[in-house]
Structure formats: C-alpha cells, structure tokens
Structure 1
Amino acid sequence: MPLETPQYIDTLVPEWPTGADPLNAGDDHIRVIKQVLKNTFPALAAPMLADANNINGITGHFNYVAGDGIGANLPRMEAHNDEWTAAICITAQTPSPAQYAENAAFVLTGSALQNMIYPVGHVLTTKRAGNPVEWLGFGTWVPLLGWIVGGGGIITDIDGYTEEYGIGTVAGHFRVHSEHVSTFAASWDLNTDSQGDHNHSFTGAPVGYWADADGDGSNNYLVETGTGYTSTGGAHVHDVQGSINVGLNSLNFKPPSQAIHVWERTA
C-alpha cells in the first residue's frame, strides 16, 4: 500500500499501515505521525498539564463564534450545554488598575468593580442600617459622625473671614461661646422722667426719737420700724443701673438636618 499523506489527526487512516507493508517503510510511518502531531499542535512549546476533564470542560461547555463584527455580532465565546438553562459563572484574574488603564478592553471582574467604585478612602453615604461589609460583602468600613464639610483647603465667607478645613476630624462646639460672637458695643444711659418737686415714702426703715420709755426721768432713744417720707428734694430725675444675663445654656445648637449614615472604607 502507498504511504499515507495526512496533515492533521483527523486525516490519519486508522487501518494503515497493514501487516503486509514492508518493514523498511516503518520509519516513514513514524515520521508521518510526528509531522501530524506538529501540524495539529504547532504552539505547544511546554508540557500541557490540562487533563481530559479540563479540556472537555472547556470544549464541552463553550463554543467560539467568529461573528462578523457588525453591531452586537462580535467574535465571542458562548456557553452551551443542552442540560443547562442558567448562565455560566466565569472566574478570572483581576488586572491591576494600571493594567486596566493601559487596556480598556480587559474584562471587568467583580473585584475590579469593587475597587473602582469603592476604593480605599471612599466615603459612602446611605440610610441603610448596618456596616457596609454586611451588605456589600467586602472592605473594612468605619463610621464618620458629625457634620460633613468639604475639606482640604481654606474657605472664605461672605464677610471676608477665612477658615481652613483639613481632612479628618475637625474639633468644634455644640454651644455658642462669646468668642463666636462678633464684637459690638451695647451701652445705655437711663433715667426716670422728672415729676417736679416731690419726696418719697419708705416702709420698714428705722424711725428714732427721744422718750422716757422706762419712767426713770431720763430720755431713752428708741428705734422702731415704720413708714416715713424723705424730705422734699425739688424737681429731679433718677439714674437707673443694672445688668442682664443672656442665654440659658440648656440646649445644644442643632439646626434642622437630614441625618444619614456616613462610612469610610479604610481597607
């Protein structure tokens, strides 16, 4: 029989060579087999460690679809299995942020999305109760309490006053202190209206006089409490002096607000 000329494994003739072929053609048949293997696996430059289950798992569950590149008909791998009705989950290595930046065509993995949307240092606001790790499933989160303001610089108010806000916790006060109030002068000079020539009555003041209270023939000075009048002082007014206390110091300053949970991812 003539020497066969196959190109790939599927063109080999299983029945050749026959027992009647000459022995001196054996080396030719061996060379044919070696060439077929090299044609079929031209890129194998190292041991293939995949076993039959690995290979069959890929070839049995995925089809390569060439597509024509028009619209959504792109070259792709499609999962297939007559027994499966649900989508197949694929696990892939997550490229680094630098690798993603260099190749936008890389597939986004769940881990990549987590770190892109919620990187370390990200601040999350929500009304959902519980630590975000409980419902996001990743990250280390710490709560941030107090008013949240933009920081990292100096801000100027409408009066031209400036204040620097650093990043992190900013100390403050719940009560307004005198240092928080802008300086102003408050003075008054009060007096009563003039009522003309008049005197004033008094009650409870001591009244003294001389009398022989004990009957010994000598006057005794007695002091009693009663009602009397001052001498007439002519037309005059009266100055008024006093002091005032401002504030009760009983409530924290808390304007109407919308309170939400604020979390920072630290790891």
Structure 2
Amino acid sequence: MTAPPTPPSSPGPAAPPAPDVPALEVRDLTVRFAGLTALDAVGFTVRPGTVHALIGPNGAGKSTCFNVLSGVYRATEGSVRLGPHELTSLPPHRIADLGVGRIFQNLALPPRATVEDSLMLGRHRLTRTGFVAAGLRLPSAAREEARHRARVREIAAFVGLEQQLARPAGSLPYGQQKLAELARALCMEPKLLLLDEPVAGMTADERRRTASVIAGVRDSLGISVLPFAHDWGGLWGLAATVPVPDFGRRCAAGHPAQAHTPPAVVRAYLGEESAA
C-alpha cells in the first residue's frame, strides 16, 4: 500500500449535481460462487455529484462489486438501486441505458481507429438515426452525426485530447489512452461513472492529470464517480468517502484522511504483525 501524503482536510467543493443525477444505493450486497463468498453484505451510498472511492487490496472483492454494479455478475442477495431503478436483475446494456458509464482496467480502444471515431462509439446509445438512413447518408443522419461529432470534440477538449483526435488510438501513450477511455465513457452522457483501477500503471504525472480530470467531472459536470482501486495514489483529495473492503467485507470507511489508519485496514494490506 502506497504511503500517502497528508491529504487535505476536506475533499474540495463539489458542484451541485445535475437535477437528474440520482444516488446509488448498495445494500447488503452478497455474491457467492460455488460456495465461496466474494462479497458479504456490503453496503454504501454514492451521493449525487460526488467521488466515492472503493479501495482495497487484491482479493478484497472490488472487481466482483464492479461487475455486479455494471451488470456482468448477478448478486446472490442484496440490492443495487440507481434512483428508482433496481439494477441487480438488469443486463449491462440496460444499466448503460440508465446512465451508468464504465471503464475497465485493461485498455479496450480499437487501436487503428482514430481517437475521434473511438469516442464516437460512446455516442451509440444516444443515436436515433436508423441503419437505412445512416447508410444512405440522408440529411437527417448527416445532421445528427455532425451534432455528435461536435460533442465528441467538446469532451476531448475537456480531458485534454483535442490535439489527438486524428491519431490512431493505439498510438497514444498509455496515460492518454486511459484518458481516451474516460472520454469515451463521458460521451455516453452518464449520470454515474464506474472506474476500474483508473490510475494503475501510470506515471506520477499521468496520475495527477487523470485525478484532475476526475475532479473536473465531479465539479464541472456534476457526475457521480465511483473509482475502484488497490492503490491510494492519485485519489487523495478527490473522494468524499472511502469504504475499504477486505475479503468481501467492509472493514473501514470514512474520509481519505482517516480511512487508511484503522488496524483492520493495515491488516488487510500488510498483515497481522503490522496491524499490531
């Protein structure tokens, strides 16, 4: 576990969320695989327009929680609600339609497509033009595509990739590829962003840049953000609350200034002797 610098006394002001941004309520979430309990009655709330990081060591249950929230896994027990909507029985595409964007730890950009075309993939759920109209290049289809591309350029500028739009996505440095994936998720116009290991493998400069963009997503766009990470680096000063799971159970929670200090958290990362 990276030893963090002394964090600020507060996570910084967050802009009021957009009126339609709902809270995410996770209650008694339990997942079992063939008798193995991966999550055991986990619960937390992501308030609208906040960053709420879920941080824990490898094997703590973070990936299982991420996959349940995004619809890849089904919960054995418990509830996940986004505003009035129960998510636990929905497939991934329906959860995305409700405004949940996500990026995975591993890069998933089409390497030969331009950055602009890669970001356009995020506009798919918002596209109203039918297949025939798009194929025939009817004026209505051309107008809609122009609107979507204009929005893509705005989001690229927001994350600092406006000069890279014509480049193949696979030619970007690793940190910029991660930013491109974040931009693609923003192109969905989400209400909640799930970020799996958003700063893993980055240099210190790339971590600072990514943390700045995530803060901008919260402060400027009012979107709720839920990062999942095994490392504290880059997340200090962003998260209003940090629950720390250990082997599927929550062993601590609180502001980042205090969340790393309880003996249970030290034990989860460093073992029994360190906790003592």
- Does the TM-score normalized on the shorter chain lie above 0.5? no
- The higher radius of gyration belongs to 1
- TM-score, with structure 2 as normaliser: 0.18
More helix by share: 2
RCO higher in 1 or 2 (8 Å CA, sep ≥ 6)? 2
- TM-score, with structure 1 as normaliser: 0.18
